[in-house]
Structure 1
Amino acid sequence: MDEAIDARLDGRTVVLAGATSAAGLAMTQALHAAGAHVIATGRSAARLEPLAGAGAQVFLADATSLDEMTALAGQIGGVDGVIPLVGGWRGGGGLAGQSDDDFADLLPALDAVRATSRAFDAALRASGAGRFAIVSSTAVARPLAGGANYAAVKAASEAWARAVAHGYAKAAREAAEPLRAASVVFRAKALDPEVLAARVVTLWDADAVDLNDRVFDLD
């Protein structure tokens, strides 16, 4: 791993919210190896164990809950990165097959984006290099009938992340300070956890002005 990236990440605190997935484990390993203090959340103690084994400090907390994320933010103090990882896919059956139940099952991904960005907003803006990142899909750019529910939720998540980016820029401008926080979107067609983890680590190797409100394709 690049030494400059290690130096920028060393000692920084990064929250992976809803991290009990292959992507969460890969990111924990990569960030921990780069010297970051990784905080991983999940709703299952058993599923958090691999993350603790990979070097994360783990907390039982629901990433979709504003109250629980706000409580966590108050408990851990300074934060330099937040990445909500609640996901999942439901679809198929053309437009007629886009059921309300499937849509409801996909909404927690958006809920997590909203809850984490709001709970950690002040902490990320106070950081010398705050980074908020979400994982989206290339389906946003080319939505298909059989994945309309999924694409709609991802599109809404991207819109929220872009609003977060605007908030960071506006706060910096009004304070007459340099932009230090950035909100970015990662898009993938078929997510490779290792590719995502490697790209996340590089977020601290670039200035916020070059990252904020950007969409990066991982494929």
Structure 2
Amino acid sequence: MRGAAERTVLIGGATSAAGVAAVGALVAAGATVVATGRDRDRLAPLAAMGARIEAVDLVDEVEVSALASRLHADGIAVDGVLHLVGGWRGGGGIAGQTEADYRVLEASFTALRHVSRAFDEDLRRSPAGRLAIVSSTTVDHPAAGGANYAAVKAASEAWVRAVGQGYRKAARDAGEPQRAAAVIFRVASLAGLESALADAFVDLWDADAAAVDGAVIELRDDVD
């Protein structure tokens, strides 16, 4: 078995344009896809593409735990997670960074923490576990008008790096080769890069886990 074929991959925030592209790329590669979102009606087209759909609020820890239990009860262990829960609020300089806006953006980080905890054992035990998030180039170049956004993305990156350290430690403690990897994709803007992201995520299964674990991969639109 090679690449993403026969892997089971959970996509958080699958109803976005990037989620639709990821579902298509993974199904084409022979993977089983679990597509999650809060609105079952918006998930329906993904079922038509071949995904198993699960209406769930990933910000709710109880709902995430219930999702993991449902999958496990059906004999499904997750080999990959692509976290696409996100959004943007900003502007107004530092004084304009409202608490309400921060809390909306923070939901993405909360969902990441819930999902990565719920499926941590699955990913560590998988023959090829992969966790990936989409972050922003603003982490390295934050602006006052996007301070909330950059802070949440930076926290998410730190969490993913910590997850990757856990994968390395688990492999080392077991005296086994590392099989799971946590990866950060960075974009200036995801618009127009949805297919590139999907392909890059699928390609992670063709790479050695130890080589890509903790990697920050920048995706760029090189079209002038």
Range class of TM-score, shorter chain: over 0.9
Write the deviation string for residues 114-151 of structure 1: whole angstroms up to 9, x where unpaired: 01100000000010000011110000010000000000
Q: In structure 2, how many angstroms separate the alpha carbons of the residues matched to 1:165 and 1:174? A: 14
Which residue of 34, 38, 42 corresponds with 1:39? 34
Structure 2 portions without partners, runs of 5+: none
| Percent of matched pairs sharing the same residue | 56
Contact 1:89-1:106 at 8 Å conserved across structures? yes
Contact 1:14-1:81 at 8 Å conserved across structures? yes
Where does residue 30 of structure 1 map in the other structure? 25
Give the TM-score normalised by the residue count of structure 1.
0.95
> Offset of 1:55 from its aligned partner?
1.4
Report the 3-state secondary structure (helix = DSSP H, G, I; strand = E; otherwise coil) of the residue aligned with 1:86. Answer: coil
Alignment of 1:62-141 (within 5 A): 62-76=57-71, 77-141=76-140
Report the 3-state secondary structure (helix = DSSP H, G, I; strand = E; otherwise coil) of the residue aligned with 1:133. Answer: strand
Contact 2:13-2:83 at 8 Å conserved across structures? yes
Q: In structure 1, how many angstroms separate the alpha carbons of the residues matched to 2:61 and 2:215? A: 25
Do structure 1's residue 16 and structure 2's residue 17 form an aligned pair? no
> Offset of 1:209 from its aligned partner?
0.5
Do structure 1's residue 209 and structure 2's residue 204 form an aligned pair? no
> Offset of 1:9 from its aligned partner?
1.4
Contact 1:63-1:84 at 8 Å conserved across structures? no
Alignment of 1:173-212 (within 5 A): 173-191=172-190, 192-212=193-213
Q: In structure 1, how many angstroms separate the alpha carbons of the residues matched to 2:180 and 2:195? A: 24
Structure 1 portions without partners, runs of 5+: 1-5
> Offset of 1:67 from its aligned partner?
2.1
Write the deviation string for residues 165-219 of structure 1: whole angstroms up to 9, x where unpaired: 0111111111111100000100000112111111111010001001111111011
Amino acid at match of 1:183: A
Contact 2:38-2:57 at 8 Å conserved across structures? yes
Contact 2:2-2:206 at 8 Å conserved across structures? no
RMSD after superposition? 1.1
Write the deviation string for residues 33-56 of structure 1: whole angstroms up to 9, x where unpaired: 110000001110111012112211
> Offset of 1:66 from its aligned partner?
2.4
Do structure 1's residue 48 and structure 2's residue 37 form an aligned pair? no
- Count of aligned pairs: 214
> Offset of 1:65 from its aligned partner?
2.3
Amino acid at match of 1:37: T
